[in-house]
Structure 1
Amino acid sequence: MTELDTIANPSDPAVQRIIDVTKPSRSNIKTTLIEDSEPLLQCIAAGVEFIEVYGSDSVPFSPELLELCRRKNIPVRLIDSSIVNQLFKGERKPKTFGIARVPRPAKFSDIASRSGDVVVLDGVKIVGNIGAIVRTSLALGASGIILVDSDITSIADRRLQRASRGYVFSLPVVLAGREEAVAFIRDSGLQMMTLSAGGELSVKDLGDRPDRLALLFGSEKTGPSALFQEASAASVSIPMISSTESLNVSVSLGIALHERIHRNLAANR
């Protein structure tokens, strides 16, 4: 592997850039930190624009990532491990990371231009669940995700990027209010199916519906809000052993989307 330049001076402008982007309270998020080789590879493949990618000089740099950066003309440098330790003092220290420009926020029109089912999360706030749902939705052919009352203010949220392993930039994730989400679903002519414990339909019934659907998932504690329930065409339940109270929302979504896999894969072709 070609030898990479190493940042050994803490006053290097790149060090200050990393410090700025990792500050917990930023009002105007234009750049973000992407950590670890797999998320970096995924984000670059998704077209995210990178300013520079870095690696700790104490760990070998991924040849696959280096080759991709070179093809995309993304600068790559190593950073002295002592500086890396200072940059990420008190938190997990990534061995590879990059500074990227945050893509424009996704819009409803981005979801409308695709053909797969739409995932709607109402009041789902655990970032780990949302990240898992992003990955599953992408893998099983959903056209996008609408996040309502998630407490996330930007998909550039570092917690969400970690939880999704960088896939959050690979499909439209729209942050919206309940009224505008319901209006988009209604205006798009989508039937909304609400996943709930006592649903009128079984999740198996979803596989028989040829039309594009909006699949609604509420929080495990409170379920979907009244506004969404009123707008739903039907409720859907997942059969399970009676001694089990409920499934994790990301697991429920995976089951529901898997029943829709043939329809969504065909639509995406």
Structure 2
Amino acid sequence: MPRAGSRLSRMTAMPIITEKSDPAVQRILDVTKHSRVNIKSVLIEDLEPISHCVRAGVDFIEIYATAEAAELDDIVAITASREIPLRLMDSAVVNHVFKAERKPKIFGIARVPRACGFADTEQNPGDLIVLDGVKIVGNIGAIIRTSYALGVSGIVLIDSDLTSIADRRLIRASRGYVFSLPIILADRADAAKYISGNGMPLVVFDADGADTLVDLDRIDERIALLFGGEKTGPSSDLYGMRNISVRIPMRSSAESLNVSVAAGIALYQRSGHSFSR
């Protein structure tokens, strides 16, 4: 455990932003504007999401920390290993930047990676996840984390209301894993064309599905797993082209499972295939 003296000496040696007029402050304010259309840079908050993004190869312009940050030693080590500029920011300046928002003690500005396409999902032999009409960002973020952990090759988001995967809410909900695997914003026609053109079995999860999770585990090839919104389910455009419908057994008195929970159950059932190919 670092001694207090060594921590203090590092803080003393680090450049500190004390003025609201510092160019970095305006850069952060510009990045956090809700009206942006062409998103080229993004704010990433907290140590864990930043560390996951760094491992995923995200290009950070600069990272900031307050003197009160408990993980200061950790962020110093991360930035030093990747030669990312790190500066302390005075608490009064942090309050000015974030105003009424939650005020992170560690945050950074990063360049948004290039948008992924369907071909990027073929670099990993795992299954493909298709989320059709899933709009709750917390659910999408949870599915991203589970998908990365269980070897999914990529995720297709249809009608999610997101305009970019570099959405601060999604970065928070996924704990930074949003850049760790290909995530594609697509329309239904393009998703259907890709799935059918590659001969991938499309598996729809339905309470009245004809097959069970055990049947799902018997499919040796790469598949696309389709999950719809909890209220409406998948659209008829995709539901109608299904090859397989699978049910997850549960009490008859239970109306449904949260979509992120259902996805986790299915992906765990399929994880042996994802890691063995």
TM-score over 0.5 for the pair: yes
Following the alignment from structure 1 to structure 2, what is the Cα–Cα distance between the partners of residues 61 and 255? 34
SS in 1 for 2:109: strand
Aligned to 2:188: 178
SS in 1 for 2:80: helix
Aligned to 1:194: 204
Contact kept in structure 2, 1:52 and 1:74, CA below 8 Å? yes
Which of 175, 197, 208 is equivalent to 1:165? 175
Following the alignment from structure 2 to structure 1, what is the Cα–Cα distance between the partners of residues 106 and 22? 18
Contact kept in structure 1, 2:126 and 2:151, CA below 8 Å? yes
* Deviation, structure 1 residue 202: 0.8
TM-score by length of 2: 0.94
Q: Report matched runs for 1:71-86 at 5 Å.
A: 71-86=81-96
The superposition leaves residues 11-50 of structure 1 with CA deviations (integer Å, 9 ceiling, x where unpaired) of 1100110110111110111000000000000000000000
Q: Which runs of 4+ in 1 moved over 6 A?
A: none
SS in 2 for 1:103: coil
Q: Report matched runs for 1:119-158 at 5 Å.
A: 119-158=129-168
The superposition leaves residues 204-226 of structure 1 with CA deviations (integer Å, 9 ceiling, x where unpaired) of 21111111110000011011111
The superposition leaves residues 43-74 of structure 1 with CA deviations (integer Å, 9 ceiling, x where unpaired) of 00000000000011233443232212111110
Aligned to 1:35: 45
Matched, 1:23 2:33: yes
SS in 1 for 2:27: helix
Range with bigger deviation, 164-173 or 64-73: 64-73
Aligned to 1:231: 241
Following the alignment from structure 2 to structure 1, what is the Cα–Cα distance between the partners of residues 70 and 123? 41
Aligned-residue RMSD, C-alpha: 0.9
Equivalences, count: 267
Contact kept in structure 1, 2:65 and 2:72, CA below 8 Å? no
Contact kept in structure 2, 1:127 and 1:160, CA below 8 Å? yes
Following the alignment from structure 1 to structure 2, what is the Cα–Cα distance between the partners of residues 18 and 215? 38
Which of 244, 250, 255 is equivalent to 1:240? 250
* Deviation, structure 1 residue 156: 0.4
Q: Identity percentage over the alignment?
A: 55
Q: Where do 5+ consecutive residues of structure 1 fail to align?
A: none
TM-score by length of 1: 0.97
